[in-house]
Structure 1
């Protein structure tokens, strides 16, 4: 958790560098990457700084009020869902860019990216509105309602069961499957295209288009594969719990609960991984980070030198 608490400045730095547009990325990809960086920052704030730290050390804070608790759970779930579907949108944009030349010019633009980002945000908020009506106060102290717990109907009503499955499908199962599918189709297209290009061009000739495509592919697969690996534990645990109708309890010695906690930890880690991915795979991004550090160092050192003179 300590690493995730240090990473919010890294997410801000990533968003600032990407917004400058000097990393050699297309105008259609950059909005997705900026939105992903900022959404991951919000996820860290809601799930780590507030839930795991602030509420843990301040159990009687305003977030524990029964009137605030459902809204907080709603926003916490919506931000996680938004983060996941931005990764799916990013993967789909790359799929269209590589595999659909006729659709590329119309879809892979900054305007389309902005529209998709806003639409995903609205859908993520709307999908989880039922959370506002799911909970009831946990206990009363001095005529004040504290905490929130699911109503009895949640465990007996078929409608709440359908909503629970919708949450599971939207948060994990569907995006996980779409990312795997889109990456599989992209790999298939790349292999087929590479065979054709080898027949048309000599192996010794320098293929600039292939080089540019390879850089884009490395970024796509690194982000997608990292997301898949870090979400696998949570997805498998979720399926097992839903199929066996096993609700997570407070007993941390239970193997299913241990797997659930590990899955949550890996999911939260996935929100911090993209910054490192950009640094490892994008040379221009690393250069922009170095330039930013140099500028900040000079900004701090210059007043000190002037003061000494």
Structure 2
């Protein structure tokens, strides 16, 4: 009974998160949230990848394996394709977060670059190219599996081939996959957000000095308040991304060194990784006051 209650709770939680992500997409797509077109495009792309991750990883893979054994999703080519889609949606969720951090960096720190090159068209091309490259990168995972059994000439199940753990090509590809996601995003997000926060702090000190606030005068500065919120948002992005992926990265390094997983931390690592990939956009967007107001209004209309 306890196990069934836990699984029912998981299903309910997945459905709620999927609804919330879908609502986030609708709210952002309507605009008027106080965001630039480029930032809105980034957040919509992130929310879409998060929603697809929930549908593919949790519903088509995990819940299907537990509640609906022996259906067409268990045919070897189909479950191999689903596994590829899991990796694609995970990579897109992470790398669209990198593009979001880059967008914030350009908008705040590189005004010349923003005016000349960072347009809606440029961002659309970057998002499309990133998605295509990540899809191409994950195609080899389709050939990772072999049938678990053959029934009436139909291959069933996805069992990892033995050479996956011994073939140097597969080992190298596995390292490349983990370096690309999440090691490189770790470095890029930390670097860009550190530079952005440093720029904001320097400019804020200059503005305080010019306005005489360093001498104890009290003035409300809308620009400085906006920059302060930007610092909070960027620190939230960096901290949440690092914390939610830290266990997974630690377990991967431990397995690479010792050849075994780090006990209970392996399933925990996958769990918090899934949480990161399915709540990115909502977690970032709720720091925006205009978005919160429109989101509450949409929730109220949905309920009533």
TM-score of Structure 1 vs Structure 2, range by shorter chain: 0.7 to 0.9
- TM superposition score normalised by structure 2: 0.88
Q: For residues 1-309 of structure 1, what are the structure 2 equivalents within 5 Å?
A: 1=10, 2-203=12-213, 204-246=218-260, 256-270=262-276, 271-279=278-286, 281-296=287-302
Question: After the TM superposition, which of the residue ranges 210-219 and 17-26 deviates more from structure 2?
Answer: 210-219
**Cα deviation, residue 294, structure 1:** 4.3
**Cα deviation, residue 40, structure 1:** 0.4
Q: Alpha carbons of 1:81 and 1:17: their partners in 2 closer, same or farther (altered >3 Å)?
A: same
Q: Alpha carbons of 1:260 and 1:107: their partners in 2 closer, same or farther (altered >3 Å)?
A: farther
Secondary structure of the 1:25 match is coil
Q: Partners of 1:296 and 1:128 in 2: how far apart?
A: 37
**Cα deviation, residue 296, structure 1:** 4.2
Q: How many residues align?
A: 289
Q: Partners of 2:97 and 2:63 in 1: how far apart?
A: 27
CA contact (8 A) 2:42 2:100 kept: yes
Q: Partners of 1:225 and 1:112 in 2: how far apart?
A: 28
CA contact (8 A) 1:140 1:146 kept: yes
**Which one has more relative contact order, counting CA pairs under 8 Å at least 6 apart?**
2
Q: Which runs of 5+ in 2 are unaligned?
A: 1-9
Structure 1 runs (4+) deviating above 4 angstroms are: none
**RMSD of aligned C-alpha atoms?**
2.0
Secondary structure of the 2:35 match is coil
Q: Partners of 1:65 and 1:294 in 2: how far apart?
A: 42
Secondary structure of the 1:67 match is helix
